[in-house]
Structure 1
Amino acid sequence: MKLSEIKNHLISLETIAFKLPNGALVPSHFHVTEVGKITKNFIDCGGKVRSEAVINFQLWEENDYDHRLHPEKLLQIIELSEKMFKFDDLEIEVEYQGKETIGKYNLDFDGTNFLLASKITACLALEDCGIPKPLIKVANAVSSCCEPSSGCC
């Protein structure tokens, strides 16, 4: 989900809820403690220089059971961040504390809840790594449907 999309969804919501991949909801007293842009510059295993950027939301919850983040407040935080940092309309990545470590998720929406969708890793240079051809076809079929421009993510 891109930044413009979450803003459009927030306008029509009365409450905000995030659902984990296992179907559980993030407790309703969560806070969005950070909104920022993360840029990653790297070289893949095939030697190609790459750059990726996402808008990052960090969700946090503690024993502050009286706190509820309302859609208009999150929209204000997003708009202030856009003004301060000149964000592009990038994909959103959400960080949320799991039992053992911070999880990173893609973001989707089901009409009611924001869905924290699992992220996966992939080799970006399959042929350069010597991955056998049949595996390349399967990997390409999976990765092509999940390209940012494909509309599935």
Structure 2
Amino acid sequence: MKLSEVKSTLNKLKTIGFQLPNGELVPNHFHVTEVGKITKHFIDCGGTVRHEEVVNFQLWNANDYDHRLHPEKLANIIELSEKVLNIGDLEVEVEYQADTIGKFGLEFNGKHFLLTSKQTDCLAKDNCGIPVEKPKVKLSELNDEPCCSPNGNCC
């Protein structure tokens, strides 16, 4: 989800909720303790130099049950961050404390922001000799003719 989509969504909400991939909701007394721009400049295992930027939200639970972050407050924090940090319309990544700090993608389901699972990947599979995953096909869709018919092409 891009930052512009988050801002547009916040303008339509009365309350903010975040849902973890397992379906649990982040406690409603969470705080967004950081809004920032994360820049990653790296070399992949194939030797290609890469550069990535994302907007980062850090969610944190405090023992402060009396204060809840409202959509307009988060929108103001985002607006200030855009100006001060020169943040563009980048993809949003969310950090949230689990056993360790978890990094999540972000989507919206019409009611809650969804923290989506992220996966690592090799960006240079062609240079590393990693085979491309074979496509899964249904055998019934391969051929209309029976496999071992006299004019079949299977034997």
TM-score (norm 2): 0.85
TM alignment of 1:50-69, pairs within 5 A:
50-69=50-69
Amino acid at match of 1:46: G
Identity fraction in percent: 69
TM alignment of 1:4-19, pairs within 5 A:
4-19=4-19
- 2:46 paired residue number: 46
Residues of 2 paired with 1:89 and 1:30: CA distance?
24
Runs of 4+ in 1 over 3 A off after TM superposition: none
Q: Does 1:75 align with 2:44?
A: no
- 3-state DSSP class of the match of 1:115? strand
Instruction: For residue 83 of structure 1, report the CA deviation from its aligned partner.
Output: 1.1
- 2:111 paired residue number: 112
Instruction: For residue 130 of structure 1, report the CA deviation from its aligned partner.
Output: 1.0
- 2:30 paired residue number: 30
Instruction: For residue 131 of structure 1, report the CA deviation from its aligned partner.
Output: 1.0
Residues of 1 paired with 2:113 and 2:24: CA distance?
12
Residues of 2 paired with 1:85 and 1:123: CA distance?
30
Amino acid at match of 2:118: K
Larger radius of gyration: 2
Instruction: For residue 32 of structure 1, report the CA deviation from its aligned partner.
Output: 0.1
Amino acid at match of 1:53: E
- 3-state DSSP class of the match of 1:127? helix
Q: Which structure has greater helix proportion?
A: 1
Residues of 1 paired with 2:111 and 2:9: CA distance?
9
Amino acid at match of 2:129: G
Amino acid at match of 1:11: N
Aligned residues: 135
Map Cα deviations across residues 58-87 of structure 1 (whole Å, 9 max, x no partner). 000021111100000000000011111111
Amino acid at match of 1:124: L
Q: Does 1:102 align with 2:137?
A: no
- 1:142 paired residue number: none
Residues of 2 paired with 1:62 and 1:78: CA distance?
21
